[in-house]
Structure formats: structure tokens, C-alpha cells
């Protein structure tokens, strides 16, 4: 969201951000993301009633299960009450031209929908991730799903414009809505921003130990590193990878795979770590030679892929052939193989390692030109056309 706010600001808009104040239960705030913002960008921070649960995780889990049985779809939903209390006077005083929401978290769309209703201000709903069309049905109870589907129906009907990160995501979300709702949709990628000076010029040209990093979440039961770890073990069996290859995985649902790493005998080659601050994750990527991206399904378009683009280094994708991630990576000339095809992953790792050790490393000029199309300023130009149209109307 920080990147989008800054890009919209560069386009000439006066931007005010309504956000929360602290880490919540199951949701950590990263104060570093508020550093270095323009002086005229107003940040309105208001607490959420669920924040206190961060101090009592067991109580939070119990309350989460209770709310799930009652059909409450988002434990962070209580933020909309404090958010609306804080933002109403601001809306009356400042009379903004436009409201923009980005989900997840889905409570942001609930707040935006209420602002649309009370103040009749144009609203853009950005579906950065799916909600009612999520592929894992066991994530919510049946009662929650009914509430989610009803809420999403109200949101897509009320919003003046809908932004989606991929065509498959838009089709999956809007397939059962009428033509009027579907006509509101615009495709816009996540985008990446130029790196700060401290992260530039960190590219090595090959030789020595090749360092691969995965900075992001795995999704238990949907997509994970099992195929990759098996491929690393297979390649290690052909010829020792010690001193030649190292994989670092950082993010949610990561450390739970340590038993598999140990069982495969690759603990010296693979390190697993939980969530770290965004700035630290960027430093890990800057120190790596090749980045790994693993989307959770065919409609997913991981923000991490676009963040990787900024570093100008090789990227390996583990994505199904019929996915938006695979299509985009192939269009950029980047290697991508199915996440469960151990033979294909082993072959691709072998090719990358050969290129590294033979000092034939780095992106081609054609790779770089293709990737440059996804700079955030280019993507915001697309969003800007929608914003300008809504304000004129």
C-alpha cells in the first residue's frame, strides 16, 4: 500500500491514508513503512478493538473460533467502527474527490463502502487478493462463506470501479455477476518501485556459492516447497551442493517445514525463518543471486514477484502452466516450472547452477525491457485513467 500511495502522490494527487496504529492478533504492523513519506501526505492512524488480542494469543484463537461459528468473516472487522468514527469529521471538512480501498485486509473495503454510502464519493475497490473466490474453502466456516459472498456482492455492486491484478482473478471473482458489474473491472498489475541506494549494485556475476532466497508465505495444503526441497535433495545426491548452493526461506508458514528439510538431509543447504520486517527482507533479497516465487494458485499474482523485479536478478518461478504467474514470467523470459514436478525443478536448478558456475549469470537486455513495463509508475498510469474518469463524472 505504501508503494501505491507514493506512486499516486507522484502523479499529482494529494493523498491521505487511513490505517491502523499497532500490531494486531495475526497481523503485525511494520513501523518502518511509515518512514520517508512526503511531508504533505497525511497519515490518519486509528486503533482497532482487536489489537489487545496480540498480548493474549490463546484468547485470540478462542475468540476467532467463536466468531467463525457465528459467521463473522474477519476478526479485524471491528476496526471499521473506530475508523469511521475518526474519518467522518475529516470527510466533512476535506471533501475528497475519491476513495480507494485495497484488500486484503477486507475491512478496508467495508469502510470504503460505508464512506461511499454516507458521502456519495466515487470509490475504487482494488482486489489485490481474492475473497469469496478463494480456492481454499476450509479457510472459513460455511456460515462465514455465506456472509463473505453477501458482503462481496454488496461491495462490487456499490464500487464505481474494480481493479484486479490478473484476468483469471477478475474472471473467478466476477463470473456470476451481471455485465454491469463486470464492466467495472480493470486489469492492473502490482508493480515495483525503484530501489533505494543502499540496495543497489548488489549483483554478483557468478562463481562461489549461489544464494537463492524465497521471501514470502507458503500455503499449507495448497502450495509449498515440497517439490523444491525434493529437487534440491536429488541434485545434492548427484553431486554435493555444499559450498555451491544455499536456499534461504523467510516468511509465514515457513519454519514448519524444518522436519521435511531434516528428513531429506538438506539442512546444511536450506535455512527456514519466520516473518521479519520488510526492510530486513529486502536486505536478504539484495544479498541473494536468484529469487524464488511460489504463488498459491493459478489466479494468484504474488506481490513478491514484482518486488523481486526491482533487483534486476534472475528469478525462478514454481507455478502451474495455466496460471497468470507462469504467463507473466514466460512473457518476461524467466524460467518457471510446475511446483510439484520434481524432475523439472531439478533440471531447472541444474541449469541455473551451471550458468552461475560458468559465470554466465544475469538478466538479458530483453528480460530487463520486459520487466521494466511493470514499474509502479507505469501501472499507476492505468489506475490514474480510472481515477481521472471517476472524478470527471
Q: How confident is the model at residue 137 (pLDDT cuts 50, 70, 90)?
A: low
At residue 46, the pLDDT reads 87
How many domains, in total, are found in the chain?
2
If you average pLDDT over residues 204-216, what whole number do you get?
Answer: 90
User: Looking at per-residue confidence, does 299 or 140 come out higher?
Assistant: 140
Q: Is residue 368 domain-shared with residue 380, that is, in the same domain?
A: no
Peptide bond into 105 cis (omega under 30): yes
What would the pLDDT profile of 32-67 be if each residue is shown by its tens digit? Answer: 677 778 889 999 988 877 777 767 777 777 877 887
Supply the mean pLDDT for the chain: 88
Q: Is residue 295 domain-shared with residue 241, that is, in the same domain?
A: yes
User: Looking at per-residue confidence, does 59 or 356 come out higher?
Assistant: 356
What would the pLDDT profile of 79-115 be if each residue is shown by its tens digit? Answer: 889 999 999 999 999 999 999 998 877 889 999 999 9
Q: Is residue 243 domain-shared with residue 139, that is, in the same domain?
A: no
Peptide bond into 137 cis (omega under 30): no
Residue 147 belongs to domain with CATH number: 3.40.50.2000
Percentage of residues in the chain having pLDDT higher than 90:
57
Q: Is residue 217 domain-shared with residue 145, that is, in the same domain?
A: no
Q: What residue ranges in 20-151 does DSSP mark as E strands?
A: 42-45, 99-103, 123-127
Structure-block grid coordinates of residue 190: 502490482
Which residue range(s) make up the domain with 344? 197-372
Distances in Å between the Cα of 15 and the Cα atoms of 40, 44, 250 are: 8, 11, 32
Q: What residue ranges in 85-153 does DSSP mark as E strands?
A: 99-103, 123-127
At residue 27, the pLDDT reads 58
Q: Is residue 80 domain-shared with residue 155, that is, in the same domain?
A: yes
**The model's pTM:** 0.85
Q: Is residue 292 domain-shared with residue 328, that is, in the same domain?
A: yes
Look at residue 335 and tell me whether its pLDDT is greater than 80. Answer: yes
Q: Is residue 205 domain-shared with residue 142, that is, in the same domain?
A: no
At residue 298, the pLDDT reads 62
Q: How confident is the model at residue 20 (pLDDT cuts 50, 70, 90)?
A: confident
At residue 23, the pLDDT reads 59
Look at residue 160 and tell me whether its pLDDT is greater than 60. Answer: yes
The C-alpha cell 524465497 sits at: 214
Look at residue 260 and tell me whether its pLDDT is greater than 80. Answer: yes
At residue 145, the pLDDT reads 87
Q: Is residue 187 domain-shared with residue 213, that is, in the same domain?
A: no
Q: Is residue 383 domain-shared with residue 362, that is, in the same domain?
A: no
Percentage of residues in the chain having pLDDT higher than 70:
93
Q: Is residue 128 domain-shared with residue 186, that is, in the same domain?
A: yes
Q: How confident is the model at residue 30 (pLDDT cuts 50, 70, 90)?
A: low
How is residue 33 annotated by DSSP? Answer: G
Q: Is residue 329 domain-shared with residue 387, that is, in the same domain?
A: no
The C-alpha cell 476513495 sits at: 99
Q: Is residue 34 domain-shared with residue 129, that is, in the same domain?
A: yes
Amino acid at each position: 500500500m505504501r508503494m501505491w500511495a507514493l506512486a499516486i502522490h507522484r502523479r499529482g494527487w494529494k493523498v491521505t491514508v487511513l490505517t491502523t496504529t499497532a500490531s494486531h492478533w495475526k497481523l503485525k504492523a511494520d513501523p518502518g513503512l511509515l518512514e520517508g513519506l512526503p511531508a504533505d501526505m497525511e497519515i490518519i492512524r486509528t486503533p482497532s478493538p482487536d489489537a489487545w488480542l496480540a498480548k493474549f494469543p490463546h484468547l485470540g484463537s478462542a475468540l476467532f473460533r467463536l466468531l467463525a461459528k457465528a459467521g463473522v468473516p474477519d476478526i479485524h472487522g471491528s476496526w471499521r467502527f473506530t475508523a469511521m468514527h475518526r474519518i467522518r469529521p475529516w470527510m466533512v471538512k476535506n471533501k475528497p474527490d475519491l476513495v480507494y480501498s485495497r484488500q486484503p485486509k477486507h475491512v478496508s473495503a467495508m469502510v470504503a463502502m460505508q464512506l461511499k454510502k454516507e458521502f456519495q464519493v466515487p470509490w475504487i475497490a482494488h482486489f489485490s487478493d481474492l475473497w469469496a473466490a478463494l480456492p481454499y474453502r476450509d479457510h472459513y466456516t460455511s456460515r462465514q462463506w455465506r456472509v463473505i459472498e453477501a458482503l462481496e456482492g454488496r461491495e462490487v455492486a456499490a464500487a464505481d470501479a474494480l481493479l484486479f491484478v490478473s484476468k483469471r482473478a477478475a474472471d473467478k471473482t466476477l463470473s456470476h455477476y451481471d455485465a454491469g458489474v463486470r464492466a467495472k473491472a480493470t486489469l492492473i498489475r502490482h508493480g515495483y518501485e525503484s530501489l533505494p541506494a543502499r540496495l543497489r549494485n548488489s549483483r554478483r556475476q557468478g562463481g562461489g556459492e549461489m544464494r537463492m532466497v524465497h521471501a514470502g508465505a507458503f500455503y499449507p495444503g495448497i502450495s509449498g516447497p515440497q517439490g523444491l526441497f525434493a529437487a534440491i535433495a536429488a541434485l545434492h545426491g548427484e553431486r554435493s551442493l555444499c559450498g555451491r548452493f544455499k536456499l534461504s526461506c523467510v516468511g509465514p508458514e515457513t519454519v514448519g517445514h524444518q522436519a521435511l528439510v531434516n528428513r531429506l538431509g538438506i539442512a546444511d543447504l536450506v535455512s527456514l525463518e519466520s516473518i521479519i520486517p520488510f526492510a530486513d527482507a529486502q536486505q536478504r533479497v539484495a544479498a541473494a543471486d536468484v529469487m524464488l516465487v511460489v504463488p498459491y494458485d493459478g489466479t494468484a499474482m504474488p506481490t513478491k514477484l514484482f518486488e523481486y523485479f526491482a533487483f534486476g536478478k534472475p528469478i525462478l518461478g514454481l507455478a502451474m502452466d495455466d496460471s497468470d504467474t507462469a504467463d507473466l514470467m514466460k512473457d518476461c523470459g524467466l524460467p518457471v516450472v510446475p511446483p510439484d514436478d520434481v524432475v523439472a525443478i531439478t533440471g531447472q536448478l541444474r541449469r541455473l547452477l551451471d550458468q552461475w558456475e560458468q559465470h554466465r549469470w544475469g538478466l538479458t537486455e530483453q528480460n530487463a525491457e520486459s520487466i521494466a513495463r511493470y514499474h509502479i509508475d507505469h501501472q499507476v498510469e492505468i489506475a490514474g485513467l480510472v481515477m481521472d474518469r471517476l472524478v470527471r463524472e
